[in-house]
């Protein structure tokens, strides 16, 4: 892992923790990108990386993304993420999870962990036996499955995008093409169907598709046909990098608004959508409902308060799209600016408060997120 500090500097992190516990086979990296707005929060991913450099890059990229996501969502939280190097199917043991929990506890709340790829709710419960700083478990006060609130946030963001596009805020009769009807996609179908939208769906698993055909009268298409569906909204709810030079020319939608992370393959793809007049609701702004849901545990989970907060995604998307129009910037960059503005305002407030005493640990935040 040559140039570790160079990489850290490039992403602008406050702290990286490398942890090893040979007795239980734990190798983990925790990335604390920013605590400017509050303690850093982000999931722990367990993945069989091809090498340690790949693991470091992943944690740097993902934790920076969490800083932007929390800032745009208006949360008093910073960005963090953890990776455990290993195969979650064969190397995950209770001892390893508990050891990871002790490392998180040792950070005294600067990093709060949660579920991510390769981890389950039950694993968070195990981690919580060693640390207070884990959310998304099944214990009393736990927030439960985040995908319901993620879908609700996407639904709210869709309304804002429809209004911005001059179609009005009503979903009744609106044609939505949904790619991926797993956890989030399924709940999104439910909200949209109740609002009278007409659904076209694709998934690589026929049983997922059958469920939404039966429950919501959705019309199925083959996975590779979803991009070309003539519709008002295309909702990517499966994979990242689906907006690219191969798919964008196929699109026949007015709006792209879905839950998938990292939808744009490259920066240029964001410009291309903008040039074509497709209204894009930036992924990390519209899919923040799950983060808002899990973060609510920190103040004592109250469902109604979460619903109110997630409803605000409507306003967030509206203001990003207005800013994009006013500044002639693609929406993904307008979202970045909003996040950077909030971070800068909070950093200068903190600086003013503490100018007399403690040194600041927070470097300026630059560069757009990738998660
Ligand atoms: P999921 O795994 O439950 O669902 C994804 C679905 O996409 C699956 O049914 C899968 O079969 C399908 N799929 C995979 N490849 C496909 C393809 N080529 N074409 C069509 N369908 C395909 O995941 P999820 O929790 O619903 O998350 C969906 C997306 O939203 C992911 O990108 C995730 O990172 C993002 N996201 C989820 C949450 C959340 O709360 N779950 C929060 C924020 C972001």
What ligand 1 atom has the least distance to the C-alpha of 240? 32
Give the distance (Å) from ligand 1 centre to CA of residue 148: 13
Q: Evaluate if pTM is beyond 0.75.
A: yes
Q: Which two structure tokens, joined as six digits, stand for 50?
A: 């091809």
Which residues lie with the beta carbon below 6 Å from any ligand 1 atom? 146-147, 150, 179-185, 202-205, 208, 223, 237-239, 259-261, 287, 290
pLDDT band for position 356 (50/70/90)? low
In this prediction, residue 82 carries a pLDDT of 98
> Which of 5-9, 132-136, 239-243, 362-366 bottoms out in mean pLDDT, i.e. has the lowest?
362-366
CA distance 34 to 16: 11
**Three-state DSSP state, 355:** coil
In this prediction, residue 21 carries a pLDDT of 98
Q: Which fold has domain 4-65+77-127?
A: Rossmann fold (3.40.50)
Give CATH for domain 147-333.
Answer: 3.40.50.720
* 228, 327, 330 from 275: Cα distances, Å: 18, 14, 9
CA distance 34 to 334: 20
* 13, 249, 351, 353 from 361: Cα distances, Å: 10, 45, 10, 14
Average pLDDT over the chain, rounded to whole? Answer: 93
Which of 143, 179, 237, 265 to mutate to test ligand 1, by most ligand atoms within 8 A of the CB atom? 237
What ligand 1 atom has the least distance to the C-alpha of 239? 32
What ligand 1 atom has the least distance to the C-alpha of 288? 43
Residues annotated catalytic, as ranges: 81
What's the distance, Cα to Cα, between the start and end of the chain in Å?
22
Average pLDDT over residues 91-99: 98
Task: Give per-residue pLDDT as tens, 18-31.
Answer: 999 999 999 999 99
Give the distance (Å) from ligand 1 centre to CA of residue 60: 22
Q: Locate the domains of the chain by residue range.
A: 4-65+77-127, 147-333
Which residue's CA is the nearest one to ligand 1's atom 20? 203
């Amino acid at each position: 892992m040559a140039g570790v500090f160079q990489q850290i500097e490039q992403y602008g992190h406050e702290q990286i923790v490398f942890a090893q516990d040979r007795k239980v086979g734990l190798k983990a990296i925790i990335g604390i990108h920013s605590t400017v707005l509050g303690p850093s929060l982000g999931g722990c991913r367990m993945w069989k990386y091809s090498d340690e450099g790949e693991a470091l890059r992943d944690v740097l990229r993902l934790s920076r993304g969490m800083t932007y996501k929390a800032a745009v969502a208006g949360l008093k939280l910073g960005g963090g993420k953890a990776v455990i190097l290993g195969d979650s199917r064969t190397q995950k043991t209770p001892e390893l999870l508990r050891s990871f929990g002790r490392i998180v506890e040792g950070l005294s709340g600067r990093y709060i962990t949660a579920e991510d790829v390769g981890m389950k709710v039950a694993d968070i419960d195990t981690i919580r036996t060693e640390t207070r700083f884990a959310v998304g478990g099944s214990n009393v006060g736990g927030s439960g499955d985040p995908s319901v609130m993620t879908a609700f946030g996407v639904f709210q963001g869709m309304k804002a995008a429809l209004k911005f596009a001059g179609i009005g805020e009503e979903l009744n009769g609106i044609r939505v093409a949904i790619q991926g009807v797993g956890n989030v996609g399924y709940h999104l179908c439910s909200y949209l169907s109740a609002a009278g939208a007409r659904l076209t769906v694709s998934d690589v698993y026929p049983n997922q598709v059958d469920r939404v055909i039966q429950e919501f009268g959705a019309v199925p298409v083959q996975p590779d046909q979803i991009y070309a569906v003539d519709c008002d909204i295309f909702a990517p709810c499966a994979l990242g990098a689906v907006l690219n030079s191969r798919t964008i020319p196929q699109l026949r939608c007015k709006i792209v608004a879905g839950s998938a992370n990292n939808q744009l393959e490259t920066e240029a793809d964001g410009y291309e959508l903008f040039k074509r007049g497709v209204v894009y609701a930036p992924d990390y702004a519209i899919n923040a409902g799950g983060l808002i849901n899990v973060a609510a545990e920190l103040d004592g989970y109250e469902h109604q308060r979460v619903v109110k907060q997630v409803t605000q995604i409507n306003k967030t998307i509206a203001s990003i799209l207005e800013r994009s129009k006013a500044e002639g910037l693609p929406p993904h960059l307008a979202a970045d600016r909003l996040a950077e503005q909030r971070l800068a305002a909070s950093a200068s407030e903190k600086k003013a408060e503490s100018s007399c005493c403690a040194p600041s640990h927070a470097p300026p935040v630059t560069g757009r997120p990738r998660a």
